[in-house]
Structures are given as C-alpha cells and as structure tokens.
C-alpha cells in the first residue's frame, strides 16, 4: 500500500488565484495543510527554506521532497494526477484554452487589485466597471452560450477548466460585485451547482470572507 501523500499549500492571505488550487484539492478529497503567510512572513520563510529571492507564492510542497511553484503548474499537476484534465489530448487543449482566457482576465484585473490593496474604493469601482464591460462580459457571453449546449466546459465531467471558472466567477462576485452574474443565468446556476456538491459545500460554508 502506497504511503499517503503529504501536501502543503503556501499562499498569501485571502482567496486570490490560489483558491483554485484549494478547490481542486477539496474536490478530489485530498487533505492538505493550508499555510497562509503575509509577504513579510514569506520573505523570511523563503530565505530559511533556500528558495530563490524571486520565488513568488503560491508554492506546493509534496512529501517534503518536491516543490511546485506557481498557480498554473500546481493546478496542472493536480489535474493530471487526479483526472481533471479531460480524457484526451483534444480535451486537454480545450482545458488549456479556458485556463488561458482566465489568466488573461486575471491579468486585466491588476488595476482593480491595486486599488483594493490601497483602499482606493472609488478607483476600484471605476476599474471594475471598465474591466467588466471591456474584458469580462464579452467572454462570459460566449461561455453562457456554450453552457446552453453542454453541462461542462470540456467533456462530460468536471475538469480543471470548470473549477477554475467557478472560482474566478465567485471571487468576482464576493469581492467586487455581488450582482453581476444576474446577467448570466446559466453561469450563475453552474456556480451554484458546483458549490452545492456534498463534499464542496462544507468547505464553501466554512471559508473566511476575503476582499481579494
């Protein structure tokens, strides 16, 4: 019998992009240590642990013998290990396409995050409205149409693409605009169905509020 895999996820406080990693692990019933550090705490730990000075969070440690750095590489590892990357190379390409689109949205959100961290709420509202109309809504209209034809973003079961999309949409809903998904009934239901799964609901209900 193989020894259990010991996982530690090290990330910043708040949800952030690392929340997709947490959801993937919870969805696949993987126990993990959820370590959240401030930037000052990470700089101290990074030096003690021998990481390069430019190593950024999140970081995942596996059995204290392997380290994976960065949201995308960590998520890809989990997806490949636990069957969340589709059932064919064609499915993997489609998953990658969704992830790439979400990465572009996360990058486009940087002005919103900067305004949030500096507590400039007027600027945050303005940046959100620009982002919503110019970047977010055009993509969500396509996904809303797609989910009118199929249950999942890729294939016939949940994948990394679905879970990453749910995380992104609900993060925006919690942190920036609680009503924007009213424009996208299928996507809103898509998120609700996932978050209501028996093994996901307790995690969602116990999750702390976050402003980013």
- The CATH number that applies at residue 37 is 3.40.30.10
Domain span at residue 12? Answer: 7-83+200-206
Per-residue pLDDT band for 210 (boundaries 50, 70, 90) equals: confident
- Mean pLDDT over all residues of the chain? 95
Q: Is the pLDDT of residue 207 over 70?
A: yes
Higher local confidence (pLDDT), 208 or 101 = 101
pLDDT in tens, 185-199: 999 999 999 999 999
Domain match, 93 and 187 both? yes
Cα 193 to Cα 1: distance, rounded to the nearest angstrom:
35
Domain match, 192 and 94 both? yes
Domain match, 114 and 187 both? yes
Domain match, 78 and 170 both? no
For residues 73-95, give the mean pLDDT. 97
Of 19-28, 47-56, 70-79, 136-145, give the lowest mean pLDDT range. 47-56
Domain match, 141 and 79 both? no
- pTM > 0.85: yes or no: yes
Are 11 and 18 within 8 A, CB to CB?
yes
Domain count within the chain: 2
């Amino acid at each position: 019998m193989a020894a259990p895999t010991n996982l530690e996820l090290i990330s910043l406080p708040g949800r952030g992009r690392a929340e997709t990693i947490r959801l993937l692990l919870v969805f696949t019933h993987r126990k993990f240590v959820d370590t959240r550090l401030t930037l000052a705490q990470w700089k101290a730990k990074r030096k003690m642990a021998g990481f390069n000075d430019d190593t950024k969070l999140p970081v995942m440690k596996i059995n204290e013998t392997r380290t994976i750095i960065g949201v995308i590489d960590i998520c890809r590892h989990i997806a490949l290990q636990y069957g969340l990357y589709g059932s064919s190379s064609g499915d993997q390409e489609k998953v990658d396409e969704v992830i790439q689109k979400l990465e572009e949205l996360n990058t486009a959100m940087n002005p919103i995050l900067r305004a949030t961290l500096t507590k400039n709420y007027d600027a945050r509202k303005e940046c959100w409205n620009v982002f919503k109309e110019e970047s977010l809504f055009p993509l969500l209209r396509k996904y809303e149409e797609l989910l009118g034809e199929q249950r999942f973003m890729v294939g016939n079961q949940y994948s990394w693409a679905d879970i990453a999309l749910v995380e992104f949409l609900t993060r925006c809903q919690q942190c920036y605009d609680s009503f924007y998904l009213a424009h996208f009934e299928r996507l809103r239901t898509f998120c609700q169905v996932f978050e209501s799964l028996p093994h996901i609901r307790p995690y969602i209900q116990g999750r702390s509020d976050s402003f980013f």
